[in-house]
């Protein structure tokens, strides 16, 4: 285990490049830092934003570019090797709180508190489309694997599916009765999962927009939802301190993960789908067997709430980001 004293102010997010050789941290100190995973050494500090760097991403699977979205209303595109800034995307009228690259690394999508999403050309830096229609801020944004569709999730209780080539609205998914916290496409793009403060998780057919199921069972808001990469399982993490794992074929409950003492902020599967990682306000992260619900390991050491966690592609290294201004690498 290695402690990286990352920033002088709290972190907002952490993520790996696909190979896991580098990771990045965003912070309230207005920077994003690039780190070498093996040594824990800082490679670059990406400076230039005038406010909190909130949303960060590598253009995986390539990993040669980094996007940073800030409360200064701009998104910046950087060279991951040199730390040079390629483009500054300007146009949002409020804070950027979510962003994503398409798998082809040709488009960056940004979601903002101005209730719009924007698509930007990675190569030229030009704005391609503004996606308007949500009634509240867009808190979550993601592409399907082929990059043909974009999903936006909003505090207006709705999800929208857009054609990323034309910027056209394809479907609006209505059914949640509270703000949406998290949403994503399944690996094959056939399904969409969403979690909400209405305590439910809903699964939708992405082509038709039809709701396939609404999964209850949590006694408090759902903070995060994730499909496994194989597509067989679905996990929902809640403020009720538990995670529920479901089969995506039958939507039956496979296991309930109990042990955390406070709300669970994030959940993620390892790429193999054999382990589940949770990050909690109880200052621990936990590693689980998703099929049995057994806790395999407790990752202790952070002195404040853990809000972010990730596996590398091989699934043998874990990163956790905490409000104690540090991130930890677990091998």
pLDDT, tens only, 227-257: 999 899 999 999 999 999 999 999 999 999 9
According to the model, what pLDDT value does residue 6 have? 75
According to the model, what pLDDT value does residue 1 have? 85
Residue 305 half-sphere exposure toward CB, CA atoms < 13 A:
12
| H or E stretch at 21 | none
Do the beta carbons of residue 296 and residue 285 sit within 8 Å?
no
Global pTM?
Answer: 0.95
| H or E stretch at 118 | strand 117-121
For residue 14, the tally of other CB atoms under 10 A from its CB is 25
According to the model, what pLDDT value does residue 5 have? 81
What is the rounded radius of gyration, in angstroms, for the C-alpha atoms of the chain?
A: 18
Partners of residue 185 on adjacent β-strands: 192
DSSP code at position 105:
S
Low-confidence ranges of the chain (pLDDT < 50): none
Is the peptide bond between 262 and the residue preceding it cis, with omega within 30 degrees of 0?
no
Q: Which among 220, 185, 186 is positioned nearest to 200, based on CA atoms?
A: 220
What's the length of the chain? 331
pLDDT, tens only, 185-204: 999 999 999 999 999 999 99
């Amino acid at each position: 285990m290695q402690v990286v004293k990352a920033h002088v102010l709290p972190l907002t997010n952490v993520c790996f490049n696909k190979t896991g050789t580098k990771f990045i941290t965003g912070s309230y100190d207005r920077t994003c830092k690039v780190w070498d995973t093996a040594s824990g050494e800082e490679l670059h500090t990406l400076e230039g934003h005038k406010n909190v760097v909130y949303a960060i991403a590598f253009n995986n699977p390539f990993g040669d570019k980094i996007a940073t979205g800030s409360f200064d209303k701009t998104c910046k595109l950087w060279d991951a090797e040199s730390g040079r800034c390629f483009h500054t995307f300007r146009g949002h009228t409020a804070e950027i709180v979510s962003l994503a690259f398409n798998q082809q690394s040709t488009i960056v999508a940004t979601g903002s508190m101005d209730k719009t999403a924007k698509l930007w050309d990675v190569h030229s830096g030009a704005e391609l489309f503004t996606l308007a229609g949500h009634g509240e801020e867009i808190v979550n944004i993601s592409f399907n694997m082929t990059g043909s569709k974009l999903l936006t999730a909003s505090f207006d209780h709705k999800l929208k599916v857009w054609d990323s080539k034309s910027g056209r609205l394809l479907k609006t998914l209505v059914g949640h009765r509270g703000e949406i916290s998290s949403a994503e496409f399944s690996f094959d793009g056939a399904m969409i999962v969403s979690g909400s403060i209405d305590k439910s998780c809903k699964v939708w057919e992405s082509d038709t927009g039809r709701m396939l199921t609404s999964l209850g069972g949590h006694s408090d808001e759902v903070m995060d939802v994730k499909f496994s990469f194989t597509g067989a399982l679905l996990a929902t993490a809640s403020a009720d301190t538990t995670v529920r794992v479901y089969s995506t074929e039958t939507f039956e409950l496979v296991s309930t993960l109990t042990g955390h003492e406070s709300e669970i902020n994030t959940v993620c599967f390892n790429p193999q789908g054999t382990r589940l990682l949770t990050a909690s306000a109880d200052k621990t992260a936990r590693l689980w067997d998703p099929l049995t619900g057994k806790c395999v390991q407790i990752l202790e050491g952070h002195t404040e709430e853990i809000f972010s966690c990730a596996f590398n592609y091989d699934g043998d290294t874990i990163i956790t980001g905490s409000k104690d201004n540090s991130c930890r690498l677990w091998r």
